[in-house]
Amino acid sequence: MSVDNINAAVPPRKKLRRMNMKRETTVAAIVFMAPAVVCLLIWFIIPFIQSIYISFFDYSYLKPDVWDFVGFDNYTQMFTDPDFYKALAHTLLFVAIVVPVQTLLALMLANLVNQKMRGNGFFRTAYFMPYVLSAVAVTTVFMYFFVKDGALTSFLSLFGFPNATWFAEINLAMPFIGLLYIWQMLGFYMIYYLAGLQTIPATVYEAAQIDGASKRQTFFKITIPNLRHTTFLVVTYGIIQAFQLFDQIAVVTAGRGGPGVPAGATSTVLTLFYNESFKYYHMGYGSAIAIVLFIIILLVTLVQRRITQRED
């Protein structure tokens, strides 16, 4: 029987009811999606388009009526600016070190708290708590521990680390930011891995145990392969977050010259964007930096996705 004959055989009332249900479902979907779409338009798409537009002008908030079209001059200036390359190098190095470390630690912590033992709930909450706290509060507390002659720095000096105010030293400012960042974000990625671990059927582990597999073999042959999609998510989001490092640097450098001090040791692409846009009021140049940062993050994410797809 053809589709037309089937539709003809459906009674008019049932056909009308189906159409009404389909219409109601469509309306409900639009109503639920509308807030997210509006927020996406207001907070991302429209500002992104505005940033692209402003990047082709010499524009400042101090002179809102003056729009001097400069074409690609802002981009040319950026790619010949040594400060940009210094900030980009700091950003890439930070991402290259922090993301693998926090991913590995998050996996280890998730595997630990996934075991059946007393106090699981407490440890999960304790590890996740730093993430929900304000970055300003966490950074401020961390700064008290890493001052010269402090209890922690004095203890670390016994192992060869300098007894100094870490965030005020050129060679220690970014390592301090890295330690702080990892400590605060670790619990967030641990939750991702914990959710991934709990989707692996217990029967798989039981079968491996019966076959005589050791815990090490089980971890590397069963756990890690089954978490590859979770790892992709964790690494992708970790890269995006690390590229957008700003809050911790802003707090550490507040009152001492702003993001980038000491001597540019804490400069990143995002802090350079902030300084150019809101400190020196070079909005066109700042917008160009923001667009390039977006392209870098997009390219890194696409490359990582391509590599993951090949492995699958």
Lowest-pLDDT range, 35-39, 94-98, 118-122? 118-122
Bridge partners (DSSP) of residue 57 are 69
Model pLDDT for residues 148-187, shown as the tens digit of each residue: 988 889 999 998 888 999 988 889 999 999 999 999 999 9
The predicted pLDDT at position 15 comes to: 66
Residues 6+ apart with CB under 8 A from 226: 196, 199, 200, 204
The predicted pLDDT at position 312 comes to: 63
- Reported as a pLDDT band with limits 50, 70 and 90, residue 5 is low
The predicted pLDDT at position 309 comes to: 75
- Asked if residue 115 has pLDDT above 50, the reply is yes
- Do you know the residue count of the chain? 312
The predicted pLDDT at position 122 comes to: 87
CA–CA dist 124, 187 (Å, integer): 8
Query: Pick the residue with more confidence: 304 or 102?
Result: 102
Angle (CA) 10-11-16 rounded to 5° is: 95
- Please give the DSSP secondary-structure letter assigned to residue 169: S
Task: Domain ranges for the chain, please list them.
Answer: 3-54, 78-311
Mean pLDDT (the chain, rounded):
88
Model pLDDT for residues 252-303, shown as the tens digit of each residue: 888 677 777 777 888 999 999 999 999 889 999 999 999 999 999 999 888 8
Query: Pick the residue with more confidence: 239 or 254?
Result: 239
Q: Write down the residue that tokens 């912590």 correspond to.
A: 109
148, 163 contact by CB (below 8 A): yes
* Dihedral, 220, 239, 242, 146 alpha carbons, nearest 10: 10
- Please give the DSSP secondary-structure letter assigned to residue 118: T
- Asked if residue 11 has pLDDT above 80, the reply is no
- Asked if residue 52 has pLDDT above 70, the reply is yes
The predicted pLDDT at position 14 comes to: 67
pTM of this structure:
0.86
Model pLDDT for residues 128-146, shown as the tens digit of each residue: 999 999 999 999 999 999 9
The predicted pLDDT at position 175 comes to: 93
Task: Please report the sign of the dihedral spanned by the C-alpha atoms of residue 241, residue 243, residue 244, residue 245.
Answer: positive
The predicted pLDDT at position 3 comes to: 46
- Reported as a pLDDT band with limits 50, 70 and 90, residue 70 is very high
Q: State CA 54 to chain mean position distance.
A: 26
- Asked if residue 78 has pLDDT above 90, the reply is yes
CA–CA dist 97, 107 (Å, integer): 16
146, 165 contact by CB (below 8 A): yes
What's domain 78-311's superfamily in CATH?
MetI-like (1.10.3720.10)
Query: Pick the residue with more confidence: 12 or 78?
Result: 78
Model pLDDT for residues 191-222, shown as the tens digit of each residue: 999 999 999 988 888 888 888 888 888 988 89
CA–CA dist 75, 294 (Å, integer): 14
CA–CA dist 268, 266 (Å, integer): 6
DSSP string covering 233-291? HHHHHHHHHHHT--HHHHHHHTTTTSBTBSTTTT--HHHHHHIIIIIS--HHHHHHHHH
Residues 6+ apart with CB under 8 A from 291: 51, 52, 55
